[in-house]
C-alpha cells in the first residue's frame, strides 16, 4: 500500500505556525514511507477565502521546502462529486432529508438548555415517509448515525478512542441551499484522493467518529487517523499572538531560517531520543508517529531563536552572503557588487557569532556596504565621536603611515599609540569603531580594518566631521 497524506488548509489567512507543523508532519510521514503528500485548498467558505491567502499558503510551504506531489487541488472544484455522493447516500437509505424550521430547531435548543442537556437534533425526520415532506421548505440532508453501541477508532497518537454512539447526532451533510458541508466534502475528497492517513490536530478528534461513519455509510474503507496535540504557549494556554505565535511569513521576515523553523516545529510534539538538532535528511529517516507525544507541546520563542542561531552558524557562507546582498538589492551601495560580496564573505565568520537571526546579520553587515551618515543615530555613538575626535585624528595619522595592513601591524601600532597617550586601549578602539562603522556594535576593530582595507579605512576616517556638533 502506498502511503498518502494530505494538508488541507482553508485560504482565509496566512499560513499559521500550527498549520505549518501539521503540514510538516504529513510531509515527513509520506516521505519516510516513500508515499505521496498532497495539497488541497479547502475553499468552500467563499466569503472568507481569498486569492492572497492561497498565495500565502503556497509561498509558506515552498519556503519551508515542503513540496507536494502533483498539482494542488481546490475543494470547490469537486462540488459536483460531493453532491453526487449525497444523492447516493439518500438513495441507499444512509441519509435523509430534514424539513425542520428554524423555529423548531430553536425550540430544541431551548428545551436542551432548560433540561441541562447538550443541544441535540431529535431525529424527528429520520424515519418519516416521503409523502409527509412539505413543499414550501427547502430541506437539509442529514446522515443516519448508529443509535446504539460504540464507535472505536484506533488512533496512531491517541491510542484506542471509544465513543458511545448515543452521543453522536445525525449531523448535516448538505445545507438547504444545496451546498455540501465540510464534514461531507472532506471525506469525499480524502477518499477520492486515496488518502490513507489523516494526520491533524487533536481539535479534530471529535470529527473522527463522525467521519468514520460517513466512510462506512458510503461503503468506503476509513483512513488511519492520527491526532496530534495542539501547540500551547509557555503558560499552558492555547497558542496565540501574545505567546509569540506568528505566520510563517512573519517568522521569515524576522530573520528565522526555514531549516531552523522546521527543526523547531518537528520537536514540538515529536522526539527521537535526546536529539535536538535534526537535519532534513535525518528527519525523513527517523520520522514516524510512534515518536509523537500525547501532551500539548509548549512554544518557546527564545528556544527557537537559539536554534536559529545554530543554523545561521552552519549555513554556507555563500548562502548567507547572497541573502544579505539580496536585502540591499534596491539600495545604493557605497562600493561595487564584487567588493560588497568580498567584504561580507570576509566578515561573516565574525558576524555569525553575534547574530541570532538574519535581520541581525543584515544590520551588522550594513557598515560593510553602506557608508554611514552623520549625524549618527545612536546617542552613545554620537557621544563617542564628539569626545574622541582628537584621538580619531591621531589614529588617522598613525594609520596613514602603515603600509603593511595586517592585523598584527595594526594591533601593535594602535596599542603603541595608546601607551604613548597614556590611555586605555578602549579609549581609542571605541571612537574608532564608531568612525568606521557608525555604530558601537561590530566585529573586532582589527577585523573591521582588515576587512575594509587601508584605502576604505582611511577614507572613512577622513569623513569624520572636524567639529563636535554632529
pLDDT digits (tens, 9 = 90+) for 224-280: 999 999 999 878 887 776 766 789 999 999 999 999 999 999 999 999 999 999 999
Residue 312, C-alpha cell as written in the block: 545561521
Distance CA 5, CA 30 (A): 6
pLDDT exceeds cutoff 80 at 143: yes
Pairing of strands 197-201, 224-228: parallel
Residue 67, C-alpha cell as written in the block: 513540496
Q: How many CB atoms lie within 10 A of CB 268?
A: 26
The percentage of the chain sitting over the pLDDT mark of 90, rounded to a whole number, equals 74
**pLDDT class for 389, splitting at 50, 70, 90?**
confident
Task: Write down the pTM of the prediction.
Answer: 0.89
What pLDDT is stored for residue 244 in this prediction? Answer: 67
468 annotated active-site: no
What pLDDT is stored for residue 309 in this prediction? Answer: 95
Please tell me the chain's helix, strand, coil percentages from 3-state DSSP, rounded to the nearest 5. 50, 10, 40
Is 296 part of any domain? Answer: no
Over residues 210-221, the pLDDT tens digits come to 999 999 999 999
Query: What is the arithmetic mean of pLDDT over 118-140?
Result: 85
Distance CA 149, CA 143 (A): 17
CATH number for the domain that contains residue 419 = 1.10.10.350
Pairing of strands 140-143, 197-201: unpaired
Distance CA 350, CA 185 (A): 55
Note whether 33 and 64 are within 8 A (CB).
no
Is 190 part of any domain? Answer: yes
Q: Terminus-to-terminus CA distance in the chain, angstroms?
A: 73
**pLDDT class for 385, splitting at 50, 70, 90?**
confident
Distance CA 12, CA 48 (A): 5
Is 198 part of any domain? Answer: yes
Is 148 part of any domain? Answer: yes
What pLDDT is stored for residue 374 in this prediction? Answer: 62
Tell which of 190, 206, 228 closes a domain.
Answer: 228
* Mean pLDDT, the chain, whole residue set: 92
Is 124 part of any domain? Answer: yes
Distance CA 178, CA 126 (A): 19
Tell which of 175, 201, 228 closes a domain.
Answer: 228
What letters, b where the CB count within 10 A reaches 16 and e where it falls short, cover 319-348? ebbebbbebbeeeeeebeeeebbbbbbbbb
**All residues at 6 or more sequence positions from 411 whose CB lies less than 8 Å from its CB, including other chains:** 446
Is 50 part of any domain? Answer: no
Is 17 part of any domain? Answer: no
Residue 166 domain boundaries:
78-228
**pLDDT class for 105, splitting at 50, 70, 90?**
confident
What pLDDT is stored for residue 467 in this prediction? Answer: 64
Q: How many CB atoms lie within 10 A of CB 462?
A: 10
Query: What is the arithmetic mean of pLDDT over 67-71?
Result: 97
CATH number for the domain that contains residue 157 = 3.40.50.620
Distance CA 159, CA 139 (A): 38
Give the DSSP H or E segment for 136: none
Distance CA 101, CA 118 (A): 20
Query: What is the arithmetic mean of pLDDT over 3-29?
Result: 95
Is 332 part of any domain? Answer: no
How many domains does the chain fold into? 2
Q: What are phi and psi of 61, to 5 degrees?
A: -65, -40
Q: How many CB atoms lie within 10 A of CB 150?
A: 12
What pLDDT is stored for residue 383 in this prediction? Answer: 85
pLDDT exceeds cutoff 60 at 206: yes
Q: How many CB atoms lie within 10 A of CB 350?
A: 15
pLDDT exceeds cutoff 70 at 14: yes
The percentage of the chain sitting over the pLDDT mark of 70, rounded to a whole number, equals 97
Q: Which of 241, 246, 303, 345 is catalytic?
A: 241
Tell which of 228, 245, 265 closes a domain.
Answer: 228
What pLDDT is stored for residue 468 in this prediction? Answer: 58
What pLDDT is stored for residue 451 in this prediction? Answer: 93
Span of 153-167, 263-277, 325-339, 395-409 with lowest mean pLDDT: 325-339
What pLDDT is stored for residue 432 in this prediction? Answer: 92
What letters, b where the CB count within 10 A reaches 16 and e where it falls short, cover 94-120? bbbbbbbeeeeeeebeeeeeeeeeeee
Amino acid at each position: 500500500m502506498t502511503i498518502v497524506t494530505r494538508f488541507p488548509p482553508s485560504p482565509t489567512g496566512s499560513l499559521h505556525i500550527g498549520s505549518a507543523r501539521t503540514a510538516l508532519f504529513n510531509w515527513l510521514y509520506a516521505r519516510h514511507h516513500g508515499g505521496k503528500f498532497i495539497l488541497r485548498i479547502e475553499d468552500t467558505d467563499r466569503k472568507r477565502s481569498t486569492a492572497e491567502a492561497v498565495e500565502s499558503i503556497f509561498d509558506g510551504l515552498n519556503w519551508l521546502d515542503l513540496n507536494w506531489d502533483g498539482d494542488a487541488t481546490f475543494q470547490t472544484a469537486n462540488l459536483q462529486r460531493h453532491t453526487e455522493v449525497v444523492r447516493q447516500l439518500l438513495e441507499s437509505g444512509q441519509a435523509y432529508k430534514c424539513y425542520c424550521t428554524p423555529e423548531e430547531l430553536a425550540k430544541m435548543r431551548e428545551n436542551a438548555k432548560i433540561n441541562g442537556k447538550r443541544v441535540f437534533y431529535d431525529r424527528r425526520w429520520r424515519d418519516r415517509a416521503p409523502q409527509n415532506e412539505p413543499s414550501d421548505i427547502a430541506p437539509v440532508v442529514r446522515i443516519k448515525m448508529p443509535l446504539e453501541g460504540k464507535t472505536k477508532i484506533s488512533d496512531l497518537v491517541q491510542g484506542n478512542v471509544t465513543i458511545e454512539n448515543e452521543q453522536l447526532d445525525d449531523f448535516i451533510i448538505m445545507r438547504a441551499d444545496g451546498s455540501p458541508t465540510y464534514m461531507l466534502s472532506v471525506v469525499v475528497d480524502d477518499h477520492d484522493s486515496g488518502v490513507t492517513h489523516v494526520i491533524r490536530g487533536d481539535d479534530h478528534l471529535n470529527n473522527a467518529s463522525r467521519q468514520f461513519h460517513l466512510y462506512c455509510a458510503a461503503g468506503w474503507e476509513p483512513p488511519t487517523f492520527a491526532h496530534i496535540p495542539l501547540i500551547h504557549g509557555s503558560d499552558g494556554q492555547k497558542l496565540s499572538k501574545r505567546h509569540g505565535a506568528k505566520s510563517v511569513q512573519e517568522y521569515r521576515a524576522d530573520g528565522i531560517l526555514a531549516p531552523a523553523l522546521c527543526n523547531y516545529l518537528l520537536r514540538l510534539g515529536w522526539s527521537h531520543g535526546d536529539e535536538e538538532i535534526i537535519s532534513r535528511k535525518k528527519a525523513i529517516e527517523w520520522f514516524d508517529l510512534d515518536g509523537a507525544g500525547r501532551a500539548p507541546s509548549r512554544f518557546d520563542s527564545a528556544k527557537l531563536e537559539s536554534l536559529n542561531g545554530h543554523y545561521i552558524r552552519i549555513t554556507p557562507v555563500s548562502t548567507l552572503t547572497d541573502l544579505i546582498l539580496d536585502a540591499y538589492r534596491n539600495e545604493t551601495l557605497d562600493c561595487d557588487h564584487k567588493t560588497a560580496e568580498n567584504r561580507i564573505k570576509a566578515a561573516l565568520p565574525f558576524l555569525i557569532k553575534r547574530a541570532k537571526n538574519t535581520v541581525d546579520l543584515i544590520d551588522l553587515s550594513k557598515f560593510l556596504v553602506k557608508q554611514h551618515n552623520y549625524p549618527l543615530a545612536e546617542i552613545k555613538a554620537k557621544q563617542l565621536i564628539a569626545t574622541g575626535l582628537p584621538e580619531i585624528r591621531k589614529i588617522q595619522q598613525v594609520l596613514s603611515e602603515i603600509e603593511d595592513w595586517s592585523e598584527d601591524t595594526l594591533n601593535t601600532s594602535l596599542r603603541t599609540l595608546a601607551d604613548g597617550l597614556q590611555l586605555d586601549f578602549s579609549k581609542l578602539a571605541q571612537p574608532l569603531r564608531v568612525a568606521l562603522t557608525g555604530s558601537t556594535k561590530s566585529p573586532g576593530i582589527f577585523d573591521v580594518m582588515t576587512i575594509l582595507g587601508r584605502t576604505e579605512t582611511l577614507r572613512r576616517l577622513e569623513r569624520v566631521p572636524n567639529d563636535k556638533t554632529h
